Structure formats: structure tokens, C-alpha cells
């Protein structure tokens, strides 16, 4: 990677490297090298952990009234491949990523590869100047996303999230099907599924129809790759 390109990248990310080799490695995908140890994969590993720690501390300090479950849901929305890829795309970083033949037109360049690239850049800054520099970079680029992480999302309004995504991506509104109900009238449980553009997602049970639909929406978001598993510690309201 030549000097001019490295300078362009530094200008975009707002950080100047002491060791430019770190920056070059961060922008080298495993498909472009014979030895994967020369790629950005190991940097991604570190960058992912640093990103999670910085975001966790930031939302812990900022949202002092949120319980552990709320913070976990918010963190999972912020520290996701989708969010990382979106930021990398906004910065235009993926166009500098060195990839192997046949990869330059891959959709992954704006998805998982872009997210991994951002994590590698975070790690490169960390190794070049330490944790404080990496934290400053993360907070600067993730600041707008943190600002938009409102209470409704943090508290698990998965139906709203699924509706917004479905309308943006498929121009349709999700529908919910009631599949089953069990128990006596005073203590029923309901099973619902979310359906988006004809696709049926994993069903879920709830103590009322609203809770079942919220959980079904969550399953759909997980299967669509919008959220990660392990966030189901929420109650219906």
C-alpha cells in the first residue's frame, strides 16, 4: 500500500500512525496474502474486544437508569456487524481494503468484511498508541449511533425494529400469526410467528399475545442477522 493511500486513510479516520505497517496490515484481507498471519484477522480479534469494552463503558456511564438487561440489548445493537459495516461504509474504508481476485465485487465488502476492517483499524490504533487513542476513535465514530440508541430500542421494542427494517428492505409490513394457545383462561400462553415478505420465522411463546409477538419479532431479527442471540431477558409491557 503506497504512501499516498495510507495518508488518505489517516485523513479519513482522523489518526496518524507512528507505525504505518500496522495500518497496512489492517487493510489487508486474508484472500490477498499467502499466509493468513499477514492479514488483518488477528487485528480483528483484538479490535472486536476493544470495541465491546469501550461501548459497554460508554453506555454504562451515560445511561445510569438502565438495568443490566437494558444495557445488554443496547450493546448488542451498537456492537454488531451491521453497525460496524454501516460505519465503515460511511467512512468509505472498504474501498481501500486489499482483497484477492474475485473479491472486489463481493457484497461482503459492504457487510462482514467492512465490519471486520473497522475492528482491525481499532486494533491497529490500539497497538500504535494505546487504549486511550483507540477509545477516542471509537467514541468519535460511534457517537451518532449512541445518540440514536433511544430507550424504546434499549427496552426491547423488537416489533418496531422489525417493522422499520422490513419496510426499508422489502417495502412490506410484518404480519404475525397466532399458531397455538395453551392453558386455562386465567393463565394462557400464546405461540406466535413473524412473517416478512412471505418468509416465516421461528415462533415464540408468551404469556400474552403482545409478548409472544415481541419474542417472535426478536427471532426474526436474529435470523435476519440484525440482532445477536442471548438478549431475551425482557418482559412485555
Exactly one of 44, 48, 193, 213 is catalytic; which is it? 48
Active site annotation includes 180: no
The predicted model scores a pTM of: 0.64
- Which sequence spans correspond to the domains of the chain? 3-153, 157-223
Q: What separation in angstroms does the CA of 178 have from each of 199, 210, 212, 220, 237?
A: 15, 11, 9, 15, 19
Q: What angle do CA 226, 115, 152 make, to 5 degrees?
A: 35
Per residue in 155-212, pLDDT (tens digit) is 557 888 888 889 989 999 999 999 999 998 888 999 999 999 999 999 999 989 988 9
The CATH class that applies to domain 3-153 reads mainly alpha
DSSP state of 208: S
Query: In angstroms, rounded to a whole number, what is the distance separating the alpha carbons of residues 189 and 127?
Result: 52
The yes-or-no verdict on residue 232 having pLDDT over 70 is: no
Per residue in 71-93, pLDDT (tens digit) is 887 888 889 888 898 899 999 99
Q: Of 222, 218, 225, 224, which Cα lies nearest the Cα of 234?
A: 218
pLDDT, position 127: 97
Active site annotation includes 48: yes
Q: Please tell me the CATH code under which domain 157-223 is placed.
A: 3.30.160.20
For residue 204, the surrounding DSSP H or E stretch is strand 204-206
Per residue in 16-70, pLDDT (tens digit) is 999 999 999 999 988 877 778 878 999 999 999 999 999 999 999 988 777 787 7
pLDDT, position 75: 87
Query: In angstroms, rounded to a whole number, what is the distance separating the alpha carbons of residues 215 and 162?
Result: 11
Exactly one of 119, 128, 191, 213 is catalytic; which is it? 119
Amino acid at each position: 500500500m503506497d504512501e499516498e493511500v495510507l495518508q488518505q486513510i489517516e485523513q479519513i479516520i482522523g489518526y496518524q500512525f507512528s507505525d504505518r505497517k500496522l495500518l497496512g496490515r489492517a487493510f489487508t484481507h486474508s484472500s490477498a496474502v499467502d499466509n493468513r498471519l499477514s492479514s488483518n484477522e488477528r487485528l480483528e480479534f483484538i479490535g472486536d474486544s476493544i470495541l465491546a469494552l469501550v461501548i459497554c463503558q460508554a453506555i454504562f456511564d451515560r445511561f445510569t437508569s438502565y438495568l443490566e438487561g437494558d444495557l445488554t440489548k443496547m450493546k448488542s445493537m451498537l456492537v454488531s456487524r451491521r453497525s460496524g459495516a454501516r460505519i465503515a461504509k460511511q467512512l468509505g474504508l472498504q474501498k481501500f481494503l486489499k482483497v484477492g481476485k474475485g473479491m472486489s465485487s463481493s457484497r461482503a465488502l459492504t457487510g462482514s468484511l467492512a465490519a471486520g476492517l473497522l475492528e482491525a483499524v481499532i486494533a491497529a490504533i490500539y497497538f500504535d498508541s494505546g487504549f486511550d487513542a483507540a477509545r477516542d476513535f471509537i467514541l468519535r465514530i460511534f457517537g451518532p449511533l449512541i445518540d440514536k440508541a433511544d430507550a424504546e430500542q434499549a427496552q426491547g421494542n423488537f416489533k418496531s425494529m422489525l417493522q422499520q427494517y422490513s419496510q426499508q428492505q422489502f417495502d412490506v409490513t410484518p404480519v404475525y400469526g397466532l399458531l397455538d394457545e395453551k392453558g386455562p383462561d386465567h393463565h394462557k400462553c400464546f405461540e406466535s410467528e413473524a412473517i416478512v415478505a412471505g418468509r416465516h420465522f421461528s415462533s415464540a411463546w408468551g404469556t400474552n399475545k403482545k409478548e409472544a409477538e415481541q419474542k417472535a419479532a426478536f427471532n426474526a431479527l436474529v435470523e435476519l442477522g440484525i440482532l445477536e442471540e442471548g438478549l431475551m431477558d425482557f418482559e412485555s409491557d
